Structure 1
């Protein structure tokens, strides 16, 4: 007799998805519950957090992160007090971090100010789980984490990590996890990097709707494909990798 799966137990993990940027926002939350995808719905501005939280309030599998995206700091730094007002009620924080890409480099000093303040506030309150953006700024991100967020005061997941092998080792030593999406596995260089990451620190993500496949934005359920690709990259069976990701998530959230 086949056992019916427990609908409260996740099967998949999408630890970084912009759920509120899909046209069918509410339907997508229902889909995550139906497909048993433990989904971290990140926000890009603190003003978006209350409505996102309301829509996911009855979800078994979707959790909302309070964010202030580094690419928006030039226009949104003044929303930091709003972020700090909501922070006591937010267990998950993101998307936050630094972006030193050409389009956003002019705001980098402001990004650093905001990032440092957020990390220190998270450390003061304790128990937060952060998903962090680090485009062309991995070393700076790690410097700030090392200075402002002790490992016993919060946990960090590096979203779409594309640093060097040395930076990956440093991040792992600081207790960081790494969320992997399918796009990261497209290039041989990044596949090699992913292959070097500690197996017990790996999670999966979509970064949808920004990542597309065949012209369609990825949805949280599409991490099933990423798990299979990640298993190939790590020479494991898809079932073993699926179990590993879920075990890593349980360890992460046990903070």
Structure 2
């Protein structure tokens, strides 16, 4: 394959009209994808896509911190044993929309949910796909307590990284990898961190259908657009495009155990 979109959501309703065409468009360009679950229902949908496409389509299963459904641990254990489920998540902490008067209650709920995902990842020996928004201190604290028991080679992937150098260093010390998406094609605030993180720890993502890269801003994102993220990363790091493609594919295969 030429590229791997390490975090996308083609199972979501935005792709109902043309899902197969979107997937085939990516596969024809030698772009593989990891469809990331955010609820039990769309985690199952992501797994179903793995079964529909023998090559190039993988899944993660988990519950986004904003989602309030009951976390069915036993179902996730059973489903997580599927050979093409390559990580646990999207999980983590998101305090962005939490009302101040509900903060303590919501923080406690999200941390408990996150800890269940970590236990699941440890049991299944699979990496975490971590979402963190306005919550780096707590995410670091929760992971630090469990890191010794997490998969040693790549314990987790920090999705859509927007943290500081200090945050990056902590997660590098944990052994994590980092995904970057469409934002780096038009927002120069990430250039310094993109040069700071070692090339062996960077993955590419689209987060489709959200956050389309240039030149597709304002449109529905899709996995085939990950090539624009690769071009942007090559430009920031002043590295050959083909080298970026090769390195990020190697990184994704290592992170997810993809052969």
**Shorter-chain TM-score: which interval?**
0.7 to 0.9
Structure 1, 192-201 or 22-31: larger mean CA deviation: 22-31
Contact 1:151 1:174 in 2 (8 A): no
Secondary structure of the structure 2 residue equivalent to 1:217: coil
Please name the residue that 2:217 is paired with: 214
1:227 deviation in Å?
0.6
Q: Which runs of 5+ in 2 are unaligned?
A: none
**Partners in 1 of 2:193 and 2:45 — Cα distance?**
37
**Partners in 2 of 1:141 and 1:186 — Cα distance?**
27
1:242 deviation in Å?
1.2
Determine if the alignment matches structure 1 residue 191 to structure 2 residue 191: yes
**Partners in 2 of 1:250 and 1:78 — Cα distance?**
28
Q: TM-score, normalised by structure 2?
A: 0.85
* Structure 1 residue corresponding to 2:90, chosen from 95, 105, 120: 95
RMSD of aligned alpha carbons: 2.1
1:133 deviation in Å?
0.4
Matches within 5 A, 1:143-182: 143-149=141-147, 150-152=150-152, 155-182=155-182
Q: Which string of whole-angstrom CA distances, capped at 9 and with x for unpartnered residues, describes residues 148-191 of structure 1?
A: 24342863110011111011011011100011112145333222
**Partners in 2 of 1:144 and 1:87 — Cα distance?**
22
Contact 2:77 2:124 in 1 (8 A): no
Determine if the alignment matches structure 1 residue 37 to structure 2 residue 31: yes
Cα 1:110–1:77 shift into 2, 3 Å: farther
Q: Which runs of 5+ in 1 are unaligned?
A: 1-9
Please name the residue that 2:129 is paired with: 131
**Partners in 2 of 1:216 and 1:29 — Cα distance?**
17
**Partners in 1 of 2:257 and 2:4 — Cα distance?**
16
Please name the residue that 2:113 is paired with: 114
